[in-house]
Each structure stands twice: as C-alpha cells, then as structure tokens.
Amino acid sequence: MKNDELKLRKKSFTIVEQACHEVQGFRKLYQDLEEKNVLSGQSKSTLNNYARKLAQLSLHFGKLPQHISEKELNRYLASLARQSKSPSLSDFKFSVYGLRYCYRLVGMNEKVVHLPQIKRANKLPVVLNREECRALFKAPELLKHRILLSLIYSAGLRAREASRLKIADIDSGRMMIHIRQSKYNKDRYVPLSLLVLDGLRKYYHACRPVEYLFNGNEPGVPLSVRGMQWALREGVKKCKLQKGITLHTLRHSYATHLLEEGMDIVSIKELLGHERIETTLVYLHVARPNRSNVFSPFDRLYDKAPRPQA
C-alpha cells in the first residue's frame, strides 16, 4: 500500500519537484538557477525550460549534471538527437542549452566547450497572405478570439506580450499600445489600428475583462499562451488553411506586410522590439518585391502571359 501511495505522489509532482526530492543537491541547484534568472532579467519560461531538462537528466542518472561524466552525457544526448520527431529535437536543444546555463553557473566553463553545437535551421518564416489573414480573423466563433488574433497581427505582438497586455496599455487617445517589459526587458510602443480599436470596444462592452485585456478562466488572470494557441488552432481548422501556422506566424505576417507596403527595415525592427537588425533582415527574403521592374523572365516568353494579381 505504501508503494502505491508513493507512486501516486510521484505522479502529482512536476519533474522539477521530483528531482528536488530524489536527487541530492538538486533543490539547491534549482534555487541558484532561479536567482540567476531573476538577476539577469531572463523570462520565467527560460528558467522553466532549462530546469525541466536538467531535472530529467538528473533523474536519469541519479546525480547532478556537474557529476555526470562526458562519456555518459554524450551517450544521453546522442539518444535524444537520434530521435527524428521535432519534439525530440527540441528536447536535445534545450538539454544542451540547460547544461550550458548550469555549467556556467557552477563555474565549470571547461565543460561548456565539450558540449555539442546547436545548428540553427536556415528556414524562412511562414507568412500568411492578406486573403488568408482575413479568413482567419473571422473564423473563430467567439468575439474574444477574433479580436485576440486580429490584435496580435495588427501590432506584431509576441504571444506572451498579448497574454500580459492590460486594459490600461491601450491608449486610444494617442492610438498607441504600450508593451511593457517584454523580451530583453524592453518597453516599446506600437501603433493601434483604428479598426482593431472598434473591435476592442465591442469586445470590452460584451465581455467586461478585468485588469488584463484578455482574461483566462477567472477575472484578473490573463489568458494563457496555451489558451491562445487553442483559439488559433480552432480558427485555422475552420478556415482550412494548410500552412504550418503558429501565433508567431501572425507576427511574421505583420512584419512582411509592412515591408511590402514600403516601410523601412529600421522602423520595422523598432516596432518588433528586435535587439539586432540582423533578426529583422530575414523579412527581406520573404517579402514580395513591389518594384515594377522586378519580374520572372518566364512571363516574357509568352505574349499572353497573365498579369500578376495585386
């Protein structure tokens, strides 16, 4: 009976809590990680991602990461890398990142050198065209979800920025949205769409949100990113879009459409809140050229080639 009770208790633990109970020294390591996360101003999600992978690793070996040999570690990481599905590749990536974070924290920089390098996939972002945007924004049944998706696109928001947005951050007098302490601990302002403001007013009078612009299950608690992802998935299914669409696709589409409409790349960088211009330059490879002298030579092979649609 005691064994069964122990199993049930283990199931109720998160993997980090389980490692704190079962691996000697892990609780102290987690506290040190948490303190460093706060002092460096990194997001809570960064800490959670690293801590889960370090807990998984520590439970697997029954000891702290700094006590695992290079040979044991390589075998473990290789088993993650061999798995072909994308969640497994994510496990591998965050395990390596978590180990780097841990080793630097405990002063074992020499171990960082021996960790595998993470190759970044050189992929261009998925972008919706304007017709797909219009279809997606009218697809959700709930007004709240229609306004949510429209707002994310209209202001180029990250998912967590939309989740934490408060009613007071919508400045209709100046037609601006105040995004507070986002990535890199930066505030920024972005223009508020007049059409979205009309929708926000209808939504506010219908739903009466409290404090946060988009409440979760309870007033005063923000809608989670997971809840926002669910709203997006339902909308995508309803309008039968075939592209691999995430909430970040709306941000990519915002930047690309601004570029196609003639906005300069530096202004787009500031609106997106990017730290480096190189991050923004990727949209130059995605945006459709709007110069009249850019065309495909194939169209000149035939006299009756159709003109491209705007």
Instruction: State the catalytic residues.
Output: 158, 183, 248, 251, 274, 283
Question: In angstroms, rounded to a whole number, what is the distance separating the alpha carbons of residues 207 and 225?
Answer: 19
Do the beta carbons of residue 230 and residue 141 sit within 8 Å?
A: no
For 105, the token pair is 């924290």
Do the beta carbons of residue 247 and residue 228 sit within 8 Å?
A: yes
Strand order in the sheet with 176-179: 170-171, 176-179, 188-191
Question: In angstroms, rounded to a whole number, what is the distance separating the alpha carbons of residues 121 and 95?
Answer: 17
Do the beta carbons of residue 161 and residue 179 sit within 8 Å?
A: yes
Count of H helices and E strands in the chain? Answer: 15, 3
DSSP classification of residue 222 = B
Of 155, 199, 197, residue with least CA distance to 178:
155
